[in-house]
Amino acid sequence: MLHMKGITKAFNGNTVLRDVEFDLEPGEIHALMGENGAGKSTMMKVLTGIHPKDEGAITWKGQEVAFKSPQEAEEAGIAVIHQELNILPYLSIAENLFLGKEETLGKTGILKTKKMETEAKQRLAELGLNIDPSAEAATLSVGQQQIVEIARALSSNAEVIIMDEPTAALTDREIEQLFKTVRALKDKGVAFIYISHRMEEIFAICDRITVLRDGQWVGVKRIAETNFDEIVQMMVGRALGDRFPERAATLGDTILEVSGLTRDPYFRDVSFEVKQGEIVALAGLMGAGRTEIVQSLFGYKKATAGKVKINGKSVKIRTPHDAIGHGLAYVTEDRKSEGLILDFSVEQNISLSNFPTLSSNGLMSAKKERALFDRMKERLGIRTSSPELPVKSLSGGNQQKVVLSKWLGTNPSILILDEPTRGVDVGAKKEIYSIMNELAEKGVAIVMISSELPEVLGMADRVLVMHEGKLTAQLDNKDLTQETIMNYATGGGTRV
Ligand SMILES: Nc1ncnc2c1ncn2[C@@H]1O[C@H](COP(=O)(O)OP(=O)(O)OP(=O)(O)O)[C@@H](O)[C@H]1O
Ligand SMILES: [Mg+2]
């Protein structure tokens, strides 16, 4: 039903897609894979008229097309759910669902609110979401917002739905629900273009995989006729070896001691210690209170009770500024709203937490700033054609590397990482793991929050498990299994 052929696209002379092809059959779920910056999102933006193509042809149901806007693509039957969600938090759920297609009373402009709400309720229920559609969209979890976006796509009778990393922020339960929805729609003949870095998911739900590398088409495979290793090889251009690099852990003195830390109702009476050179993972389901704990540790949200010691001394951390002063760094989970200033350049974003070392007498040194950028670009393999590009024009995974760079520059002694590899490709994941190991070997204590259990098991020395605001287990990572962690994460007893 869809053919893209010979697609080429450059931004300011920098070619990001070169002679790429892609095709889609009715009712098919077709994955688009490739490293961060390979051109996946751009390819979809070319298809849906966000960016004009420089060369090539797009054929939709036998006719050559060139959509001028996503609205035009949607009217033709191609809807897109972007990597960054487009929910307006202060409008109601129903208003979000009907955005741009509101029903009004004649020409008066008065919204038929009740009618839209009734219809929204029914459409969301069909997708397994039973909620009050008059509530503000801000009250929804990210997963629920995703369902609202799908409902919106379906309300335009889409025959193709493009999903750009739909599961990056979803809980396991939400992913299951999403897959149920996707499969049911597939049975009705709806086709999907599915972009994700999660190999397990791709193999669970897709029919075919098209792989891009550096803006070029590498190949297309049927799921039944390929495997993880082959796809990784196609994406990266070489075999990657072990997913997790080896590390010889030598632990030093206890550097961080947390006792009785509480912030009702998010978490209660949390106590743990971390040693120099140790990697401790905080595991648990979404909403278990993990992010809230590290936010309090970092002085961003005030704890209501509890003590924190660093290097054996009691400390009061009231603001992130205090925290940085005590050698803490915090890579936040939500890069778009907390980690980056999107309109600032890549270089400026990296500088943000490094003013003291980059300036003298209150003046920034452009030379030092560029040197820091160069160091981080080299170290993390950040893909950008210039340090002066606004950070929002980088691919999702490369934005994540910028957030990480911003904090590595401060030489922290305690590094907190909240979902550090979300949206990051296999190769870059391994780079991030190597950096974590290197830092640990230098004595940095690392507290990592991760929802990906293979990553927890692959990286942590010790695993702290949270359930509903309580620490339910502290486990040495020896013969530890995903099942054991899940058991404590879902309320199956305690071992502290
Ligand atoms: N508006 C833009 N201006 C300049 N460069 C851009 C723009 N949009 C994308 N690029 C560049 O195009 C390349 C491809 O980016 P794209 O977002 O398509 O990657 P991706 O495959 O979706 O990666 P990820 O997995 O990280 O999301 C990147 O190098 C990116 O910096
Ligand atoms: Mg992308």
pLDDT in tens, 296-341: 999 999 999 999 999 999 999 999 999 999 999 999 887 777 789 9
Q: Are 1 and 61 in contact (CB under 8 A)?
A: yes
Residues of the domain holding 280: 254-489
Q: In b/e form, how buried is each residue of 469-488, taking b as 16+ CB within 10 angstroms?
A: bbbbbbbebeebeeebbbbb
Task: Report the nearest-CA residue for atom 7 of ligand 1.
Answer: 393
Q: Is 30 inside a domain boundary?
A: yes
Assigned token pair, 280: 């401790």
Q: Is 134 inside a domain boundary?
A: no
The domain boundary, picked from 170, 205, 236, lies at 236
Q: Which helix (H) or strand (E) holds 349?
A: helix 346-351
Instruction: Note the pTM of the prediction, 2 decimals.
Output: 0.76
Q: Which amino acid is at 459?
A: M
Assigned token pair, 180: 């149920």
φ, ψ of residue 16 to 5 degrees: the values are -110, -15
Cα–Cα distance for residue pair 434/152, rounded to 1 Å: 41
Could you give the percent of the chain with pLDDT greater than 90? Answer: 59
- Looking at mean pLDDT, say which of 225-234, 309-318, 475-484 comes out highest: 309-318
Assess whether the previous peptide bond of 265 is cis (omega < 30° from 0): yes
Cα–Cα distance for residue pair 335/399, rounded to 1 Å: 8
Task: Give the per-residue pLDDT at 106.
Answer: 65
Q: Is 249 inside a domain boundary?
A: no
Cα–Cα distance for residue pair 170/185, rounded to 1 Å: 20
List CB-based neighbours of ion ligand 2 within 5 Å.
Answer: 41, 396
C-alpha of residue 127 to centroid of ligand 2, in Å: 25
Could you give the percent of the chain with pLDDT greater than 70? Answer: 97
* Mean pLDDT within 120-140: 88
CATH number at residue 262: 3.40.50.300
- Counting Cα atoms < 13 Å in the Cβ hemisphere of 341 gives 11
- Looking at mean pLDDT, say which of 33-42, 127-136, 142-151, 274-283 comes out highest: 274-283
Distance of CA 443 to the CA centre of its chain: 28
Q: Is 108 inside a domain boundary?
A: no
Cα–Cα distance for residue pair 411/426, rounded to 1 Å: 25
Asked whether residue 71 falls in the same domain as residue 211, the answer is yes
Asked whether residue 218 falls in the same domain as residue 261, the answer is no
**Closest ligand to the CA of 393:** 1
Assigned token pair, 164: 């750009």
Reference 397, options 335, 348, 454; nearest CA is 335
Task: Give the per-residue pLDDT at 94.
Answer: 92
Q: Are 394 and 1 in contact (CB under 8 A)?
A: no
C-alpha of residue 344 to centroid of ligand 1, in Å: 16
**Closest ligand to the CA of 17:** 1
Query: How many domains does the structure of the chain reveal?
Result: 2
Q: Is 135 inside a domain boundary?
A: no
Q: Model confidence over 167-188: pLDDT tens digits?
A: 776 777 778 888 888 998 899 9
C-alpha of residue 419 to centroid of ligand 1, in Å: 21
Reference 297, options 265, 329, 268, 251; nearest CA is 329
Least confident range from 65-74, 212-221, 243-252, 429-438: namely 243-252
Task: Give the per-residue pLDDT at 107.
Answer: 67
Reference 489, options 210, 315, 288; nearest CA is 288
Task: Report the nearest-CA residue for atom 8 of ligand 1.
Answer: 393
Asked whether residue 297 falls in the same domain as residue 390, the answer is yes
Q: Model confidence over 50-104: pLDDT tens digits?
A: 999 999 999 999 999 999 999 899 999 999 887 666 788 889 999 988 887 777 6
Task: Give the per-residue pLDDT at 104.
Answer: 66
Cα–Cα distance for residue pair 475/265, rounded to 1 Å: 25
Task: Identify the band that residue 142 occupies on the pLDDT scale cut at 50, 70 and 90.
Answer: confident
Asked whether residue 232 falls in the same domain as residue 327, the answer is no
Torsion of CA 172, 177, 178, 180, to 10 degrees: 130
Q: Which atom of ligand 1 is nearest to the CA of 34?
A: 21
Question: Which residue ranges have their beta carbon within 6 Å of ligand 1?
Answer: 11, 16, 34, 36-42, 83, 383-384, 393-398, 425
- Contact partners, residue 454, CB within 8 Å, separation at least 6: 243, 482
Task: Report the nearest-CA residue for atom 29 of ligand 1.
Answer: 37
**Mean per-residue pLDDT of the chain:** 90
Q: Which atom of ligand 1 is nearest to the CA of 38?
A: 21
Asked whether residue 59 falls in the same domain as residue 192, the answer is yes
Q: Which atom of ligand 1 is nearest to the CA of 45?
A: 18
Q: Which atom of ligand 1 is nearest to the CA of 43?
A: 18
Q: Which atom of ligand 1 is nearest to the CA of 384?
A: 31
Cα–Cα distance for residue pair 20/208, rounded to 1 Å: 16
The domain boundary, picked from 236, 271, 289, lies at 236
Cα–Cα distance for residue pair 337/121, rounded to 1 Å: 29
Q: Is 300 inside a domain boundary?
A: yes
Asked whether residue 82 falls in the same domain as residue 45, the answer is yes
Give the CA distances from residue 261 to residues 270, 306, 390, 444, in Å, rounded to whole numbers and listed in that order.
5, 4, 39, 22
Task: Identify the band that residue 252 occupies on the pLDDT scale cut at 50, 70 and 90.
Answer: very high
Asked whether residue 263 falls in the same domain as residue 402, the answer is yes
Task: Give the per-residue pLDDT at 258.
Answer: 97
Task: Report the nearest-CA residue for atom 17 of ligand 1.
Answer: 395
Cα–Cα distance for residue pair 122/227, rounded to 1 Å: 40
**Residue in the block written with tokens 């830390």:** 261
Q: Which helix (H) or strand (E) holds 323?
A: helix 320-325
Rg of the chain (C-alpha set): 24
C-alpha of residue 41 to centroid of ligand 1, in Å: 7
* Mean pLDDT within 36-42: 92
C-alpha of residue 347 to centroid of ligand 2, in Å: 21
Asked whether residue 206 falls in the same domain as residue 275, the answer is no
- Contact partners, residue 422, CB within 8 Å, separation at least 6: 168, 169, 333, 400
* Mean pLDDT within 239-266: 88
Cα–Cα distance for residue pair 172/287, rounded to 1 Å: 12
The domain boundary, picked from 201, 236, 271, lies at 236
Task: Report the nearest-CA residue for atom 31 of ligand 1.
Answer: 394
Asked whether residue 226 falls in the same domain as residue 310, the answer is no
* Confidence check: pLDDT of 144 > 90: no
C-alpha of residue 39 to centroid of ligand 2, in Å: 7
Assess whether the previous peptide bond of 133 is cis (omega < 30° from 0): no
Task: Report the nearest-CA residue for atom 25 of ligand 1.
Answer: 36
Task: Report the nearest-CA residue for atom 2 of ligand 1.
Answer: 393
C-alpha of residue 124 to centroid of ligand 2, in Å: 27
Q: Is 248 inside a domain boundary?
A: no
Task: Identify the band that residue 105 occupies on the pLDDT scale cut at 50, 70 and 90.
Answer: low
Asked whether residue 279 falls in the same domain as residue 405, the answer is yes
Query: To test the ligand 1 pocket, which listed residue (33, 35, 41, 54) has its Cβ within 8 A of the most ligand atoms?
Result: 41
Q: Which atom of ligand 1 is nearest to the CA of 83?
A: 27
Asked whether residue 453 falls in the same domain as residue 344, the answer is yes
Q: Are 473 and 292 in contact (CB under 8 A)?
A: no
Asked whether residue 31 falls in the same domain as residue 166, the answer is yes
Assigned token pair, 467: 């359930």
Q: Is 94 inside a domain boundary?
A: no
Higher pLDDT, 150 or 342: 342
Query: To test the ligand 1 pocket, which listed residue (395, 421, 425, 431) has its Cβ within 8 A of the most ligand atoms?
Result: 395
Q: Model confidence over 284-298: pLDDT tens digits?
A: 877 788 999 999 999
- Contact partners, residue 395, CB within 8 Å, separation at least 6: 36, 37, 38, 41, 383
Q: Can you tell me whether residue 411 is helix, strand or coil? A: coil
